[in-house]
Amino acid sequence: MLLIWSRWRAWRRGRPFWGGLMAVLAGAEICSIPLAPLSVMLHQGIAGIPSVLLGAIMIVLGLSAWFSPHHRGLAGAITVLLAVAALVMSNLGGFLIGTLLGIIGGSMIFAWQPLPAAEPPTTPENAHEAPPEDPPSAPGPAPQSATSELSVLSKGDRP
């Protein structure tokens, strides 16, 4: 049981889980309000179609944040735009609940960053190895020894 819980935690932390969950809930809220019995839906006419489409697309964007986290920027921005559009096109965006969840969830998806890779720990086996070389420094003045060699060589070349 502990292994399953640790795998779930690792999966959840490796993606914008809470933002995706809010986007899915926002889409479900926006999508569920116009889903009335068929007789009521026929009286409503074409007005219910944008609600269902906006909600379905928001659900897909929330799921894409979970299963394809490298597309989080696009998914987050489109989720926020659809949540704001649902405010006008769909019963005040699910009576404002869906719009608020969509804006917050899309913002969380957009702002999520993956954790940086951890450095390997130093173990006694590799402790005796030499430390890695320093990365090259920024451009600047040359070391003194190289400068003196260049100046010596250039003095003999004068006309």
Question: Helix H segments across 2-143?
Answer: 2-13, 17-32, 38-44, 48-67, 72-89, 91-95, 97-111
**pLDDT band at residue 2 under the 50/70/90 scheme:** confident
Greatest mean pLDDT among 47-51, 81-85, 117-121, 125-129 lies in 81-85
Whether 109 has a pLDDT exceeding 90, the answer reads yes
Nearest CA among 75, 51, 74, 69 for reference residue 12: 69
Q: What are phi and psi of 130, to 5 degrees?
A: -70, 145
What tens digit of pLDDT does each residue of 73-91 get?
A: 999 999 999 999 998 888 7
More confident residue, 54 or 43: 54
3-class SS of residue 116: coil
Output the pTM of the full model.
0.69
Which residue bears the tokens 């070391």?
A: 143
